[in-house]
Structure 1
Amino acid sequence: MQLPAEAVATTDLIEVVRISGLPANRGVPYPGRAVAHWIGSEATDVLTLIENLPGSEQHRCGFSPGWGVRAYEDSLDLALFEAAFCFSCHEVRMHGTAVPPALATQFFNVDTTPAQTLLALFRAAAP
């Protein structure tokens, strides 16, 4: 999977979100509760894991993401990007100031080790 390289390079904090629905409009943060914050090497490792998600074909489920990440630089003002993951249809939707249109919708293979590791990290982050 491809992430916006400049944003990845300046990310200092990853916020993990347990998504509770779809946003009312495009570009608006996905609703849900922040369940964890990853900084330093933990954030770097997760971004590397996401970048190593192998591509996949699109599957139909209607896009019902359960987990998302928001990447912030040190100012923590505005998310550089947000990625919402649907492990049913293998789709990731991203938006944010650093996301070019070509990266907004991507597909990943949920049956691979990187995807299962990411899902396990998400689940472990939730109380």
Structure 2
Amino acid sequence: MRLPAEAVAATALIEVVRISALPTKQGAPYPGRVVAHWAGNEASNALALIGSLPSGEQHRCGFSPGWSVRAYENSLELALFEAAFCFNCHEIRMHGTAVPPTPATQFFDADSPPAQALLTLFRAATP
């Protein structure tokens, strides 16, 4: 998966969100409960794992993401980016101040070992 390199380098904190619905307008945060905060090595390792997701084919499900990550720099004001993951249609949608329009929608191999490791992290973070 392609992540915005400058945003990854600037990330100080990641919020893990258990998504409850789709946003009501484009560019708005995905609604849901923040279930975890990752900082330091935990954030770096998660971003490396996300960055290692292999490309995949689109599947049809209507995009029903279960989790998202929001990356923040030290100021913790606006999210650099938010990436929402749908493990059914193998789609990732990103938006945020550091996201160019080109990689905003990507497809990944949800059955790959990195994707399954990420799903395990998400599930472990969700009470």
TM-score range, shorter chain: over 0.9
Structure 2 residue aligned with 1:121:
121
Letter aligned with residue 36 of structure 1: A
TM score, norm. by length of structure 1: 0.99
Structure 2 residue aligned with 1:93:
93
Over 4 Å off, 4+ runs: none
- Distance in 2 of aligned mates of 1:101 and 1:57: 20
CA deviation after TM superposition for structure 1 residue 84, in Å = 0.2
Say whether residues 1:24 and 2:29 are aligned partners.
no
Structure 2 residue aligned with 1:77:
77
CA deviation after TM superposition for structure 1 residue 38, in Å = 0.2
Q: Which secondary structure state, in structure 1, belongs to the residue aligned with residue 43 of structure 2?
A: helix
- Distance in 1 of aligned mates of 2:100 and 2:81: 10
TM score, norm. by length of structure 2: 0.99
Q: Which runs of 5+ in 2 are unaligned?
A: none
CA deviation after TM superposition for structure 1 residue 94, in Å = 0.1
- Distance in 2 of aligned mates of 1:22 and 1:75: 26
Structure 2 residue aligned with 1:9:
9
- Distance in 2 of aligned mates of 1:17 and 1:123: 11
- Cα deviation code 1:82-125 (max 9, x no counterpart): 00000000000000010000110000001110000000000000
- Distance in 1 of aligned mates of 2:27 and 2:4: 16
Over the residues paired in the alignment, what is the CA RMSD in angstroms? 0.3
Q: Which secondary structure state, in structure 1, belongs to the residue aligned with residue 102 of structure 2?
A: helix
Say whether residues 1:66 and 2:66 are aligned partners.
yes
CA deviation after TM superposition for structure 1 residue 31, in Å = 0.3
In the alignment of these two chains, the number of paired residues is: 127
- Distance in 2 of aligned mates of 1:78 and 1:115: 27
Letter aligned with residue 40 of structure 1: G
- Distance in 1 of aligned mates of 2:10 and 2:48: 14
CA deviation after TM superposition for structure 1 residue 72, in Å = 0.2
